[in-house]
Amino acid sequence: MNSNPFFFIGSPIRGDQWNNLDVNIGSHILIAIVVIGVVGLAIEQGMNLVARRFDYRSN
């Protein structure tokens, strides 16, 4: 059995590996955060639209 509890996501990054990461990874992380935020807002707006459509208390 694998002793690493995070074997399904890979091994943790050691200090020497962290220093050798690509410098452009920060921009990729920022883009991912923005994309996740935009998708979350779109889902929220869609759910609000559905909730208003089926809100029978206002009739």
> How is the chain split into domains, by residue range?
23-59
**pLDDT tens, residue by residue, 7-43:** 556 666 666 665 666 666 777 888 999 999 999 999 9
So what's the pLDDT on residue 27?
79
Contacts of 4 (CB under 8 A, 6+ apart): 11
Angstrom distances, CA of residue 58 to CA of 14, 30, 35, 36, 50: 58, 41, 34, 33, 14
Give the predicted TM-score (pTM) of the model: 0.56
Identify the DSSP state of 5. T
**Alpha-carbon gap, residue 2 to 40, rounded angstroms:** 36
